[in-house]
Structure 1
Amino acid sequence: MADKSKLWYLENFNLFSSLKQDSMMELNKISLEKEIGKNQPVYFPNEPSNSIFMLKTGRVKISRYSKDGKEMILAFINPGEVFGEMAYLGEEERTDIAIAVEPSYICAINKDDFSQFVGENPSLNLLMKKIIGLKLKNCSDRMGDLVFKDAKQRIISFLFMISSENGKKIGDQIIVKPFFKHQDIADITSCTRQVVNDVLTNLREKGTIFFDRKKLIVNRPGELKKLINN
């Protein structure tokens, strides 16, 4: 992509929305653009944590594997989000794996260059800590869901989380684009694909949600929230 396009994408990250134009130009200089094919890795566990990444287009899956090879999906990264951010806090090696689940464009910034940039733009330090804190909270919440909630509650909790964090409110509805494949939801919530299909179909029949391959529409967010603990 052209350098001008890279700058346009950077300007549309919420993290950088308050920066002045000269700061944006400097950020543009220190960031590198990469195209990652579907099912290709961005990084592996035990690799040096040298960079911080920002997703421009596509979707990236963050996972961790147990010693017996079982995958635990920690998060899906959507356009406009930062990942690999623990490098900013001094992480030496990656503890998880990042895979592009669809063709993706990312911006990569060397962690030392980014730290210097943040030093020149102190407001970013607080925003980065908020982002990291929120991700750690979401990870903790997911662990709690796996321990204390049944399969239906975990799926509904996931739907509520992504609609709250990634959805766009239009009137009384919340729209999430793109939506997840049923198998992805099953992997995230530690359920079977059939259980996910049954729960989503039931919610759609009741009119609580609507979904297809491209989007999720939450028609009654309040009702969805109540169902998490029912």
Structure 2
Amino acid sequence: MGFKTAKKGDVIYFSSSDVPRVFVLKKGAIKIVSLDEDGNETIKDIIQKGDLFGELELESDKDSNEYAKALTSEVSICSFLLSDFENLLLKYPNLALSYTKFVGLKMKRLKNSYANLMSKDARTRLLTFLKDWSEREGRKEGNKITIDNYLTQNDIAQIICTSRQTATLLLKELEENGLMYYGRKEIIIEDISKL
């Protein structure tokens, strides 16, 4: 196992590296970004403390063109060689069961994201994202929730599958209606029950 720290904006790993690894995020938040043939970035996932990322399919994909980038000021990860991780799963059945549950939850999140994309408008997808984010990371004071903001408006737009302009308009609309405050460092949702 190896440990690594990173600062905001640092690239943590590339999927095309010669030595496939599995990572566990110990502190902070990162985004998994995919690059297309034209060099355009697309956010595939936001990884938070305790999540696994890397070669999760337990086989190396040399054609994949993705990387992980630190979103918060302090990121700490530990990593395993893919072969060592596979051996751990064989040696400790409880770990293998936990890993299976983790992969199942990831699949469920992907399924829900796809369903939201197909059946909900951009505003509803934004509200759903804000509720999920506040549930995972928000600090609650009654119905008021404060979230440390490490995402740009463009990041949020990619997560909810809309343009940056649409995301910006929707965030401004929520602010104008007094439902939330969006700042570079934090997001304050005045009353989560009204979202």
- TM (normalized to structure 2)? 0.78
| Residues in 1 aligned to 2:118 and 2:154: alpha-carbon distance in whole angstroms | 21
List per-residue Cα deviations over 1:126-167 (Å, max 9, x = no partner): 222222222222223223333333322222222122223333
Matches within 5 A, 1:115-194: 115-194=86-165
Q: Which residue does 2:12 correspond to in 1?
A: 42
Q: Which residue does 2:78 correspond to in 1?
A: 107
- Residue 85 of structure 1 and its aligned partner are, at CA, apart by 5.5
SS at match of 1:199: helix
Q: Which residue does 1:204 correspond to in 2?
A: 175
| Distance change in 2, residues 1:39/1:177 (3 Å) | closer
SS at match of 1:157: helix
Name the amino acid aligned to 1:82.
Answer: L
| Distance change in 2, residues 1:130/1:93 (3 Å) | same
Question: Does structure 1 conserve the Cα–Cα contact (< 8 Å) formed by 2:147 and 2:188?
Answer: yes
Name the amino acid aligned to 1:36.
Answer: A
| Residues in 2 aligned to 1:72 and 1:199: alpha-carbon distance in whole angstroms | 20
Q: Structure 2: any 5+ residue segments left out of the alignment? A: none
Which has a greater percent of helix?
1
Q: Which residue does 2:58 correspond to in 1?
A: 90
Name the amino acid aligned to 1:156.
Answer: L
Question: Does structure 2 conserve the Cα–Cα contact (< 8 Å) formed by 1:48 and 1:93?
Answer: no
Question: Does structure 2 conserve the Cα–Cα contact (< 8 Å) formed by 1:74 and 1:139?
Answer: no
Name the amino acid aligned to 2:129.
Answer: F
SS at match of 1:72: strand
| Residues in 1 aligned to 2:150 and 2:144: alpha-carbon distance in whole angstroms | 15
Matches within 5 A, 1:12-91: 31-47=1-17, 50-84=20-54, 86=56, 89-91=57-59
SS at match of 2:61: coil
Q: Structure 1: any 5+ residue segments left out of the alignment? A: 1-30, 225-230
Matches within 5 A, 1:4-19: none
Q: Which residue does 1:14 correspond to in 2?
A: none
Q: How many residues align?
A: 192
Q: Does 2:190 match 1:219?
A: yes
Question: Does structure 1 conserve the Cα–Cα contact (< 8 Å) formed by 2:15 and 2:55?
Answer: no
Q: CA RMSD in A?
A: 2.8
Which has a greater percent of strand?
2
| Residues in 1 aligned to 2:41 and 2:150: alpha-carbon distance in whole angstroms | 21
| Distance change in 2, residues 1:215/1:39 (3 Å) | closer
- Percent identical across equivalent pairs? 31
| Distance change in 2, residues 1:139/1:66 (3 Å) | farther
| Residues in 2 aligned to 1:169 and 1:85: alpha-carbon distance in whole angstroms | 35
SS at match of 1:77: strand
